[in-house]
Structure 1
């Protein structure tokens, strides 16, 4: 049974998804790749549906740190873990869809400019771990 998401829950889901994209993009920064990466990510996130699409397309944009990769990780990875918990409780069918959308967006960002750099692959691994079911 699907329950309505609160504004705060939608923002957590959005922070995780948009933050994952930013985490990968920031892992191997480059001015030329930013536009390609943005387009790639938006295409993947646009594939979302149901509660996930609602969360990603309504409300304010998340505020993400921009100073260091470590700071970005400290916001994004917990948001991803929390988003999975929220969806498991309120919209269980959307848990796997959220994982798929976030990982697809992260992968598209990494591949958008000159292939996947080692730092981008490491960021995607962190995202995958954060999205995994807790033990």
Structure 2
């Protein structure tokens, strides 16, 4: 099944996925925010299918806000909206989007010194809940 995405739909998907990486980066431990962002970005740009084509570019002109709370207010609803949008058009692409975001989140939580921080774990839980709220 082919999906048809408007420019606004693509912006919503990009805002959601790239915003999730930004949330993970903001929740990262001091000194690791860049590593978190890098690992998450690699996961997004490695996506395949129609979702991969959309996520290949970060959103342009998106103002996420100055606090993590403001970022979350924008990104978490966009994650849910993205899942709803994709499920209506192609459930397989909704699964692809969810999987891609979760890989980015998991890549972001990777800590070579052991477990991820409680802050990263909590942010990953919030992102997962937003994806599953659809």
> What TM-score, normalized to structure 1?
0.86
> 2:68 matched to which residue of 1?
69
- How far residue 61 of structure 1 moved from its aligned partner, in angstroms, is 2.6
CA contact (8 A) 1:7 1:59 kept: no
> 2:12 matched to which residue of 1?
12
> What TM-score, normalized to structure 2?
0.87
Q: Runs of 4+ in structure 1 displaced over 3 angstroms? A: 112-115
Please say if 1:49 is aligned against 2:48: yes
Segments of structure 1 that go 5 or more residues without pairing to the other structure are none
Change (3 A) 1:62 1:113: farther
Paired residue secondary structure (2:91): coil
- How far residue 58 of structure 1 moved from its aligned partner, in angstroms, is 4.8
- How far residue 89 of structure 1 moved from its aligned partner, in angstroms, is 1.5
Provide Cα deviations, 1:28-84, integer angstroms capped at 9, x if missing partner: 353x32332232112211221111112112584361424212111100000000000
Cα distance between partner residues in 1 of 2:55 and 2:90: 15
Q: Give RMSD over aligned pairs.
A: 2.0
Segments of structure 2 that go 5 or more residues without pairing to the other structure are none
> 1:128 matched to which residue of 2?
128
